[in-house]
Structures are given as structure tokens and as C-alpha cells.
């Protein structure tokens, strides 16, 4: 398929407002009814047409992935998105990354939708394996554009040596966020002291591994 054949989602302020309405409605319905809620019901809840839902997301699987991505990125908020986007401008990259990670992790820890959506995925995968397939075949830059974009900018400056941004983005998530998602899935919280140590240690491990070769010991 040529790039000319790829249909781009609607753009502009009005389209973005509709997209957010669709994601909000879909999140509530997925949490309440599971993945088998119909697109017609989602469209009605969002006060848009079914065609509009498909124009924005292409499929219900892609919409579900969009809901997960938005829920993961929501704790970032506008301020944190800006902070991540400006990591490349930070004089002290470690200090900036630790501060941003602390605020991000705190948002994840206090967002009730994260665990609930994780449970929906686990509950529905045996009936809808296409959910896992759709997620697996998407790139990390599609799922986590703010973080992947920031890492690319820093690497382009020569401050990090990253050849595989898919791996690097997942490693950063694994070091900072995934421990909280895993523990929460089993009804256990990571306390504040351990959270701080995980963040500081995770950032140090990440920066050490991807340090420019000339600075490695």
C-alpha cells in the first residue's frame, strides 16, 4: 500500500474535540461493559456518528489502544508533556528526567483507570486475541509519542547513544512505570520510599546504559 492510500485521521481543533469525546466515552464503556461494547453505543455516548469513530481510529481494537495510550499519558498533563518535550533543553539531563519521572509515576499511581483498564485487557484477551496483536504490531512511538519523541531529540543532540528507540522507550517504561502496574495488579502498593529509589536507580541505569560511548567507563 502506498502512502497515498493511507487514510489520515481528521485534524484540527474540532476534530480533536471529537476524538477526546470518543476516547472519554469509550473508556467509561470499556471499563463498565468490557471490550465487546459496540461501536454504535460508543458513538452515541460520545454524541458522534459511527463513521466519525472509524474515521478517527479505523477499528475498535485501535480505539481500545487509543484509550490505553491516553490513560497512560493522561497523568503527564500539559505541564509534564512540556517538561518531557523539553528534556533536550535541560542543562542537567539526569535531574530533569528524575523530576519528570517522579511527577509521572505519581500520576500513574493515583490514576484509578490504569489498573482497571489493565484488568479489562487481561479479561478480554482470551476472547479477543486481536487486542494483543494490534498492540504488539504498533510501534512504541505510536503508543508513547511524548517519551519516544523526547528520547529521539536528546539522542540527536549526542547526549544519549540510542540505536533502537522501540527498545529504549520500553526499557524506560519498564524501569519507571511497570513495577507499579505489576504490583497494583496483585493489590499491592509500592511505598513512597521504594518509589523514590526505583526512580533514581532506574534513571541512573537508563542514562548509564545509553551514555555516549566517549563518556562510558
What average pLDDT does range 117-125 have in this prediction? 73
Which has the minimum average pLDDT: 100-104, 106-110, 168-172? 106-110
pLDDT at 204 (0 to 100): 97
How far lies 205's CA from each of 106, 171, 172, in Å?
Answer: 20, 10, 9
Which carries the bigger pLDDT value, residue 210 or residue 214? 210
Name the one residue in this structure whose C-alpha cell is 519521572: 101
pLDDT at 34 (0 to 100): 82
d(CA 103, CA 39): 34
17 has a pLDDT exceeding 70: yes
d(CA 92, CA 71): 29
pLDDT, tens digit, 9 for 90 and up, residues 69-102: 776 555 555 556 677 778 888 899 999 999 888 8
What average pLDDT does range 178-195 have in this prediction? 84
Which has the minimum average pLDDT: 34-38, 92-96, 110-114, 159-163? 110-114
What average pLDDT does range 175-183 have in this prediction? 84
Mean pLDDT computed over every residue of the chain: 81
CA dihedral (79, 82, 87, 91) in degrees, to 10, reads: -70
| Contact present, 76 and 84 (Cβ < 8 Å) | yes
The pLDDT-based confidence of 4 (bands split at 50, 70, 90) is very low
Which carries the bigger pLDDT value, residue 103 or residue 125? 103
Question: Which positions ≥6 away from 207 have C-beta within 8 Å?
Answer: 93, 94, 97, 160
pLDDT, tens digit, 9 for 90 and up, residues 29-51: 988 888 889 999 999 999 999 99
Which has the minimum average pLDDT: 23-27, 84-88, 130-134, 166-170? 130-134
How far lies 113's CA from each of 119, 134, 138, 154, 184, in Å?
Answer: 10, 21, 22, 31, 12
- Residues listed for the chain: 217
105 has a pLDDT exceeding 70: yes
pLDDT at 120 (0 to 100): 75
At 61 the three-state DSSP class reads: helix
Amino acid at each position: 500500500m502506498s502512502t497515498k492510500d493511507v487514510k489520515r485521521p481528521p485534524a484540527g481543533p474540532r476534530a480533536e474535540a471529537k476524538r477526546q469525546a470518543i476516547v472519554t466515552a469509550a473508556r467509561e464503556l470499556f471499563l463498565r461493559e468490557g471490550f465487546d461494547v459496540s461501536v454504535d453505543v460508543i458513538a452515541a455516548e460520545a454524541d458522534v456518528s459511527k463513521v466519525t469513530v472509524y474515521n478517527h481510529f479505523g477499528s475498535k481494537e485501535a480505539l481500545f489502544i487509543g484509550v490505553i495510550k491516553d490513560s497512560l499519558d493522561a497523568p503527564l498533563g500539559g505541564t509534564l508533556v512540556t517538561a518531557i518535550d523539553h528534556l533536550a533543553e535541560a542543562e542537567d539531563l539526569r535531574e530533569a528526567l528524575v523530576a519528570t519521572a517522579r511527577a509521572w509515576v505519581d500520576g500513574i499511581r493515583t490514576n484509578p483507570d490504569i489498573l482497571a483498564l489493565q484488568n479489562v485487557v487481561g479479561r478480554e484477551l482470551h476472547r479477543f486475541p486481536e487486542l494483543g496483536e494490534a498492540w504488539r504490531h504498533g510501534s512504541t512511538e505510536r503508543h508513547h509519542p511524548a517519551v519516544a519523541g523526547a528520547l529521539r531529540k536528546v539522542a540527536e543532540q549526542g547526549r544519549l547513544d540510542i540505536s533502537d528507540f522501540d527498545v529504549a522507550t520500553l526499557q524506560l517504561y519498564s524501569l519507571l512505570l511497570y513495577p507499579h502496574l505489576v504490583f497494583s495488579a496483585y493489590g499491592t502498593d509500592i511505598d513512597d520510599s521504594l518509589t523514590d529509589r526505583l526512580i533514581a536507580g532506574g534513571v541512573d541505569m537508563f542514562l548509564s546504559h545509553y551514555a555516549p560511548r566517549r563518556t562510558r567507563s
